[in-house]
Amino acid sequence: MNNPLHNEYPADSLEAKDLEYIFHPTTNLKQLAATGPKVHARAKGVYMWDNHGKQYLEGMAGLWCTALGYGEEELVEAAASQMRTLSYSQLFGGKTNEPSVLLAEKLKAMMPFDAGRVFFGLSGSDANDTQMKLMWYYHNAIGRKEKKKIISRLRGYHGVTVASGSLTGLPYFHSHFDLPIANVLHTDAPHYYRGAEAGESEGEYVRRLVKNLEALIVKEGAETIAAMIAEPVMGAGGVVVPPQGYFEAVGEVLSRHGIFLIDDEVICGFGRTGKPFGAETLGMKPTTMSVAKALSSAYLPISGVIIPEFMYEPMAELSGTMGTFAHGFTYSGHPVCAAVALRTLEIFEEREIFAHVARISVPFQQRLKAFGDHPLVGEARGVGLIGAVELVQDKATKRGFAGKQGVGAYCAARAEANGLIVRNLGDSVAFCPPLIISEAEVDELFTKFDKALNETWAWVRSGS
């Protein structure tokens, strides 16, 4: 690729080598060739430094994942100790290892529903891919072969594999990838600020969305629909917190029509919303659950799919007939990943991390919601230690900016210039700091963002 920046970096620099060799995920590849990459060099606690020594407060916990912050020695030691003892072991063919067994036991005990078994993978994407396959396999096993469709939601994010990318309800993840595949349906996103009609109360809005959901179920035929998948709080779709009563109403409709609920806790799980799982905060009643990210504080890749025993039993029976249950990954139940995840869950308990989040989320949400008064902010929303501000041209009409203006991206760039890492999701700017953040660090985070927001407001007014 012809890269005008290539000559600006020394040939042996990481920037130059990155531009030469790396194919970046979820990136504007053409823009990257013009601007060059940002090299992260080291990190500790809630701070990160680039290769030029500039310090940043990590306001996104990496990608919604480094729950215990960076450089946690307990997790480093857990990995090193396990590597010395048993660096790899598989779960295929009935083989097992101690860290995987103990982690599965721990996870089952933590579940807010009647959990039975844990299937291990490496990422949230493969977890939700597995969820889809298990729904198909289970319904085949019980003789309901027509019950295969999965309902997801517009703006939901569930991964990027062919199956999980289809479940994702964001156009960028479908366009030119020939997604979604068959048997995936999408219903409304529960974003009251953007979706409510004039004069519609939150209760009325919820009833309309649930009516639309039921109409979709009736149209498609409940006998053809296996499950609905949902994040308690939408992450990559803009940090959308559903109105009160939404999941209770959705759950009632699904239960009445014999449709399962897959709870995607990849972002919300393990304390992010102030309780162990987002389902507990938002009133969800899951049938199954996907977990990843904070499960190991992102120190090593691991995911889990947790299902009830009533689903496992017919699948086990079918595998006996078939001769095997033919799904799994080389690294399913990797002992080093499992050991780190197990120690992560122990640290959550030992340090009372979930209680800390419940306390620190009060000043976090207070500072966040105060941005709702800013002339550039249409809505400031969030729960626990996750939130976003949505930038608009006109607060009264909620009129947003044209995509090509890149206002959200400019605001995120100004935050970075001021030593704060955030993430723009279109013109919504998201916050998701490590769960260990202190009140002083929360103040630092929002003080830096306040400066970035004011700089963005000045830029917008200048007509740049």
The pLDDT of 367-371, averaged and rounded, is 98
Q: What is residue 70's DSSP assignment?
A: B
The pLDDT of 282-310, averaged and rounded, is 98
Fold classified for 38-71+353-461:
Aspartate Aminotransferase, domain 1 (3.90.1150)
Percent of all residues in the chain with a pLDDT value above 90, rounded to a whole number:
97
Residue-level pLDDT at 4: 53
Encoded tokens for 93: 């063919």
Residue-level pLDDT at 133: 98
Residue-level pLDDT at 126: 98
Residue-level pLDDT at 3: 53
Say whether pLDDT at 8 is over 90: no
Say whether pLDDT at 6 is over 60: no
Q: Position of tokens 């407060």?
A: 57
pTM recorded for the entire structure: 0.96
**242 closest CA partner among 213, 216, 271:** 213
**Average pLDDT across the chain, whole number:** 96
Per-residue pLDDT reduced to its tens digit, 54-89: 999 999 999 999 999 999 999 999 999 999 999 999
**269 closest CA partner among 360, 354, 159, 152:** 354
β-pair type (149-153, 184-187): parallel
Say whether pLDDT at 146 is over 80: yes
The pLDDT of 309-320, averaged and rounded, is 97
Say whether pLDDT at 370 is over 80: yes
Helix (H) or strand (E) holding 18: helix 14-21
Percent of all residues in the chain with a pLDDT value above 70, rounded to a whole number:
98
Residue-level pLDDT at 356: 98
Residue 1: pLDDT band (50, 70, 90) is very low
Residue-level pLDDT at 5: 56
Say whether pLDDT at 420 is over 50: yes
Q: Under a CB-based contact definition with an 8 Å cutoff, are residues 395 and 375 in contact?
A: yes
Residue 463: pLDDT band (50, 70, 90) is confident
Name the residue ranges covered by the structural domains of the chain: 38-71+353-461, 74-350
Residue 151: pLDDT band (50, 70, 90) is very high
The pLDDT of 179-205, averaged and rounded, is 97
Q: Which CATH number fits domain 74-350: 2.160.20.10, 3.40.50.970, 1.10.150.110, 3.40.640.10?
A: 3.40.640.10
What b-and-e string marks burial along 32-59, b requiring 16 or more CB atoms within 10 Å of the CB? bbeebbeeeeebebbbbeeeeeeebbbb
Say whether pLDDT at 16 is over 70: yes
